[in-house]
Structure 1
Amino acid sequence: MPNALSESRACLPPPHPPEVAKGVILDARHALVHAEQGWMAIADVHFGYEARRRRAGALLPDWGMPQCERVLHELVRDHQPKRLILVGDIMDGSGTVEETLELLKRLTESVKIICVLGNHDRAGLKRGMSMIPSHREGEFLFEHGHLPLSDHEGVIVTGHEHPATHFRDGAGLRLKLPTMVQEQISAKTQRWILPAFSPWAAGGEYTSEHKRLQTWACGKGRVWRV
């Protein structure tokens, strides 16, 4: 007979990053990794969020930028990708170009970076880095998602939406976790929406008219299917 402890253990998420498709894992640190093809993708870094708002007078702690950079270096170290694909909104907006370019310069010392243009990425960043509207790796097409999606047979990997899942216990406790959404948008095309990488991007419930295939919640050190 199962006891309470064995039942609770059965409810735990898996200890290792799960495969969200054959050969593709989702790291709990909000990174999508395809080891065989050699790429890792993240979206919505929004680097410089607190710096931009502090300059405008907001009282925000100066911790988001160091955390973003530390986790990025850890992901590159742990997965050793050949290419790091930044799927748009690399910077947060005007006034954070210098900080973002310095970050990208440091990252290029350990990995090749591919920068996909997002709606927050300003002209100064384009002058300092090569920015492209989309990037393809085999059956995967990467674009930010703020514009109408390209006509592509395969998987379109986007960001922009900052999806999150809300958990409630019915007694007032609420928990919101960044989430990756996989949906079918046509007979031959799926869209995978990455969780926002920025620690400031709380996210919200994502809904659409398309068929939901899977939802993956990212907790501290864990990813599980919702």
Structure 2
Amino acid sequence: MPRVIKHPELRREELLDQAQALFLTHGYDRASLNDVIAAAGVSKGAFYHYFASKEALLEALAERFARQALAGVQDILDDPGLDPLNRLNGLLAQSRQAKVEAAAEAWALFETMFRPENLVLFHRINLAASASFSPLLVKIIRQGVEDGTFRTFDPEGVADMVMQFGMATHGVVAKAIASGSDADMDVAIETLEKRVRLYEIALDRILGLPDGSIRISEPGYVRAVMTARRRTVEQAPSA
């Protein structure tokens, strides 16, 4: 049969689809690059044309998740009836909903990032997400400064603080995962809930808003995301 020639972007997406399916089924560590290459039906040379390593593949999956999340908030960004504060809270609310809905899948793909030896990879994936969302946050905050809703001299710095939340909580999550006990996971959930409240207060103060104006979380959000990880572990196939 003649070789099928596909558009490079289509081929790249197919490789990501195959990798995601294998990582979800077997886990990131157990699925090898050879498994991905075999499932995709391409040569090693063709694969390495798109991705330099397994880590690069995971980063690309993170970037795709970010793009999909970005598409999910476009209606909020385009709504002319929202003022900057409601637009920011709407963006955060939509992000929470997307994370809860995709939590089990995301844990299966990205749990490996929380191992101590993978801190650099965790940072790189956070940078991928930040590249998509930081410009949106900066735009909303600038609009708020212009109309007097927010008071800050550094919109970029505030956006960076929001995006750095994941890095700031890395150690808490990593410790809970390393232990594997329900008790440690519950402690982690409580710690993260307090940390989120602290971030909300800090952002209110930095933006010159009354306490309770910014809502990064909602009751039950942290627990829903973290216990999705627990369910993922319980349902994982044995070796």
> Quick check: TM above 0.5?
no
- Higher Cα Rg: structure 1 or 2? 2
Q: Which has the higher strand share?
A: 1
TM score, norm. by length of structure 1: 0.26
